[in-house]
Amino acid sequence: MLVCILIEWVRFLLLACAEGHANLGEMDMIVRRQTRKITIGDVAVGGGNPITVQSMTNTDTRDVAATVAQIHSLEQAGCELIRVAVLDLEAAAAIAKIRAAISIPLIADIHFDHRLAVAAMEHGAQSIRINPGNLGGAAKLARVVDAAKAHGVPIRVGVNSGSIEKDLLKIHGYPSPENPAALIESALRNVRLLEELGFYEMKISIKSSDTLTTVSGYQALARKTEYPLHLGVTEAGGLIAGTVKSSVALGILLHQGIGDTFRISLTRDPVEEVRVGFELLRSLKIRERGPELISCPTCGRTQIDLFTLAEAVERYVQTMKAPIKVAVMGCVVNGPGEAKEADIGVAGGNGVGIIFKKGQIYKKVKEEELLAVFLQELKQIEEEMGELSPK
Ligand code: SF4
């Protein structure tokens, strides 16, 4: 619920911003930037394919059971690509067992040690995220590239503003919204290292914890490369700060057609990252997954415990696949009218709830029975619509 409100608020800001700087006709249409296509497992990234939502586990990768359990929760939430940290050879070996137990493509995240990158691919990693410049030199990078070619594994060149090469910082200064050049040059330098080895199956990320540097950096990078771009704001923060920062930066970029896949980084259960990701795509009308929940903020007219009801409904709709619109409103005075686009909704009265469909009152129920009856109605809609796959 909080996430939906936050993202709607961000969308409002973006629209307001567009009104100030462009006309709304331009704002309405997203033209995707043309990029090359890479394939991670069975998921295509770039080349006009749907923008994918990904996440990263926060379990110890060596703990196969815990990692698989978390990935299953992420799959349930709609996660399409999952990354795991590979800190040692035991974690690299665990990839084989993890991959056998999950159904989305697995990406290994590796720093500094080229042997871990090679081992991860030998154990079935379907992509690796590296910073080619920090693997210990040309010969070691060549071994990684040879393994990537042999296993058909694409590479994400991942550069962070905190780990840019000193010479680039000296020339360009630390990345800022006005001057993100060091980030871009670092990424392109690393890309060239792979290209010189005849490797082109890659996507690029340039992560900053600063919202506006993220925006200007990706905008500049998009003008200089045709490789697909993985978007993200690094160390974005907790649920509220992280959602706002990521939604502002990624919202602007996605609306400009920049970005082929992304992760919302939150100091939180990664399942929340995926939920925020899909809400962001929905709010930009790029992709939809499952039901859309709208709810009023409540006011002095509210006469039932709407927060408890809304939270319970939100938990339930997160398990649904049917792309319907569900409304939870505080009162019958304005509720059904405000939510007339909703397929089904509930509005509070004095000790009662009114269930409405398409803006028309359908049934009046005592408050004590309201949640159970409403959930039953949702189940019935699901059954009537069948198992609808996400778009
Ligand atoms: S729907 Fe009713 S309770 Fe909710 S904010 Fe609007 S007027 Fe207030």
Better-scored residue on pLDDT, 254 or 137:
254
Residue 381 in any domain: the answer is yes
**How high is the pLDDT of residue 24?**
40
Query: End of a domain among 243, 266, 283?
Result: 283
Residue 127 within any structural domain of the chain = yes
Please give the pLDDT value at position 323.
85
Q: How does residue 7 score in pLDDT terms, banded at 50, 70 and 90?
A: low
Inform me whether the pLDDT recorded for 43 exceeds 60.
yes
Token output for 1: 């619920």
Are the beta carbons of 347 and 353 closer than 8 angstroms?
yes
Once rounded to an integer, what is the mean pLDDT over residues 268-280? 95
Q: Where are the alpha helices (DSSP H) in 152-238?
A: 166-172, 181-195, 211-224
CA–CA gap between residue 281 and residue 289 (Å, rounded)? 9
**Residue 301, Ramachandran bin (φ over 0: left; ψ between -120 and 50: alpha; else beta):** alpha
Give the distance, in angstroms, between the CA of residue 298 and the centroid of all CA atoms in the same chain: 29
Same domain membership, residue 299 and residue 275: no
Does residue 174 lie within any of the structural domains? yes
Measured from the Cβ of residue 164, the count of other Cβ atoms closer than 10 Å reads 22
Contact between 251 and 10 (Cβ < 8 Å): yes
Q: Is residue 390 part of a domain?
A: no
Does position 158 have pLDDT exceeding 80, yes or no?
A: yes
In short, whether 232's Cβ falls inside 6 Å of ligand 1 is: no
pLDDT > 50? residue 242: yes
Ligand 1 centroid–CA 380 distance in Å is 27
Query: Can you tell me the mean pLDDT for 83-104?
Result: 98
Q: State the distance from the centre of ligand 1 to the C-alpha of 297, rounded, in angstroms.
A: 7
The reply to whether 61 falls in a domain is: yes
Q: Is the CB of 39 under 6 A from ligand 1?
A: no
301: Cβ below 6 Å to ligand 1? yes
Range of the domain at 367: 292-385
* More confident site: 22 or 272: 272
Q: How far is CA 358 from CA 123, 325, 327, in A?
A: 52, 10, 10
Instruction: Name the band, by pLDDT with cuts 50, 70 and 90, for residue 78.
Output: very high
214 CB burial (10 A radius; 0-12, 13-18, 19+): buried
Q: Mean pLDDT, to the nearest integer, of 264-278?
A: 95
User: Would residue 124 be called left, alpha or beta, if left means φ above 0 and alpha means ψ between -120 and 50 degrees?
Assistant: left
Q: Are residues 205 and 128 in the same domain?
A: yes
- The reply to whether 114 and 191 lie within a common domain is yes
Our count of domains for the chain comes to 2
Ligand 1 atom 5: residue of nearest CA: 298
Instruction: Tell the residue nearest (CA) to atom 2 of ligand 1.
Output: 331
Confidence tier at 336 by pLDDT (50, 70, 90): confident
Q: Does the pLDDT at position 68 exceed 50?
A: yes
Which two structure tokens, joined as six digits, stand for 343?
């397929």
- Which one has a higher pLDDT value, 359 or 3? 359
Distance between Cα 377 and ligand 1 center (Å): 22
Percent of the chain surpassing pLDDT 70: 91
Which DSSP string do the residues of 3-14 spell out, in sequence order? Answer: HHHHHHHHHHHH
pLDDT score of 223? 96
Residues 304 and 246 in one domain: no
- pLDDT above 90 coverage of the chain, percent: 75
199 and 344 share a domain? Answer: no
| Residue at which a domain ends, from 283, 300, 334 | 283
Q: 349 in a domain, yes or no?
A: yes
Claim to verify: residue 273 and residue 131 sit in the same structural domain = yes
Q: Are residues 300 and 275 in the same domain?
A: no
Judgement on whether residues 300 and 272 belong to the same structural domain of the protein: no
Q: What is the mean pLDDT of the chain?
A: 90
How far apart CA 133 and CA 343 sit, in angstroms, is: 53
CATH number at residue 334: 3.30.413.10
Question: What number is the average pLDDT over the span 148-174?
Answer: 94
* Local structure of 84: helix, strand or coil: strand
Average pLDDT value for residue range 10-27: 48
Q: How many CA atoms, within 13 angstroms, populate the side-chain half-sphere of residue 298?
A: 12
| Residue-level pLDDT at 359 | 78
> Does ligand 1 have an atom closer than 6 angstroms to the CB of 299?
yes
Look at residue 134 in the predicted model and tell me its pLDDT.
85
The 3-state DSSP class for residue 157 equals: strand
Write out pLDDT tens, residues 168-214: 999 999 999 999 999 999 999 999 999 999 999 999 999 999 999 99
pLDDT of residue 23: 42
Do 252 and 318 share a structural domain? Answer: no
The token duo for 381 is 């809609």
- Same domain for 178 and 51, yes or no, is yes
- Same domain as 193, residue 163: yes
The pLDDT of residue 80 is 97
> Is 137 inside any structural domain?
yes
Look up residue 135 and give its DSSP letter.
S
Q: Please report which confidence band the pLDDT of residue 21 belongs to, taking 50, 70 and 90 as the band edges.
A: very low
Three-state SS at 352 = strand
pTM for this one?
A: 0.87
The domain boundary, picked from 259, 283, 307, lies at 283
* Inside any domain, residue 391: no
Provide the phi-psi class of 256: left if phi over 0, else alpha when psi is between -120 and 50, else beta. Answer: alpha
Q: Over the stretch 355-371, which tens digit does the pLDDT of each residue have?
A: 998 878 899 999 999 99
Q: Same domain for 131 and 261?
A: yes
Measuring CA to CA, how many Å separate 42 from each of 57, 80, 81, 103? 20, 10, 10, 10
